Amino acid sequence: MTSHVHLIIGTKGNPLQNIMRDLKRHTSEVLHKSIQNNSIESKREWMLWMLWMMEGAAKKNNNAAKFQLWQPESHPVQLINNKMAHQKLDYIHYNPVKAGFVTKAEEWKYSNAIDYDGGKGLLEIIKLDTLIV
């Protein structure tokens, strides 16, 4: 989605809060550096505005250093069985369709719905069909 992310994450014993902390830190640092180092981007003014917003958000949050991309909280839901896991997966896949961005779930570039439709998405995934929740 354009304003938020839905993820299904397997923890393998690592506490979810550690995974989310590290994911948020890494992605915000990489994006921040990319914006700073890209002087030829056609959307440079928008990107500079994003830097300003990230730095402003950090000033409001005592936990952030110089910039903040993500909201501090997450909304985790423990998937306690396969039915619930597939229900959440369907919700994630059809969220861009419901929002009107695409007409089919597998058309959303930033989704793994295409992997479930026989294609290949942007990231390597482990399909829920191969897991037992």
Residue 80 — φ and ψ, nearest 5°?
A: -90, -10
pLDDT class of 71 with cuts at 50, 70, 90: confident
CA 26 distance to own-chain centroid: 12
> Identity (one letter) of the amino acid at 43?
K
State mean pLDDT over 84-89: 93
Residue-wise pLDDT for 100-125, tens only, equals: 999 999 999 999 999 999 999 998 88
Rg over alpha carbons for the chain, rounded to the nearest Å, is 17
pLDDT at 133 over 60: no
pLDDT at 45 over 90: no
pLDDT at 132: 61
pLDDT at 39: 65
CA distance 115 to 34: 28
pLDDT class of 70 with cuts at 50, 70, 90: confident
pLDDT at 49 over 90: no
Q: Where are the domains of the chain?
A: 1-75, 82-130
Nearest of 15, 18, 54, 14 to residue 34 by alpha carbon = 54
State the burial class of residue 47 (Cβ atoms within 10 Å of its Cβ: 0-12, 13-18, 19+).
middle
State mean pLDDT over 15-41: 83
pLDDT at 1: 66
CA distance 130 to 122: 19
pLDDT at 58 over 80: no
Per-position DSSP letters for 33-102, written without gaps between them: HHHHH-SS-TTHHHHHHHHHHHHHHHHH-TT-SS---S-S--------SHHHHHHHHHHHHHHHHHTTS-
Percent above pLDDT 90 for the chain = 32
The DSSP letter of residue 106 is G
